[in-house]
Amino acid sequence: MTVNELIFNFRINVENGGVFVIDKDGDFIDINKNILDEIGNEEIKEQNMFDGKLFVHIDINL
């Protein structure tokens, strides 16, 4: 599943910080629309819910 597919399937509001990404170095990146344009087609390796937020793991360099 790609980031775009995940957001579409779960109707996540990216403008309100509803999605956070863990990059391959373990840093947390708050997704906004600009970042989403860059990573939307990246494949998700895994996803987890924590404290009402969705964390996804993809390999990116931002």
The ranges assigned to domains in the chain are 3-57
Predicted pLDDT of residue 25: 67
Q: What is the pLDDT of residues 1-27, one digit of tens each?
A: 998 898 888 887 777 677 777 666 667
Using an 8 Å Cβ cutoff, are 47 and 12 in contact? no
Burial (CB < 10 A; 0-12, 13-18, 19+), residue 15, is: exposed
Q: Provide the whole-model pTM.
A: 0.72
- Contacts of 9 by beta carbon, 8 Å cutoff, 6+ apart: 1
- The CA distance from 47 to 52, in Å, is 13
Give me the pLDDT at residue 61, please: 66
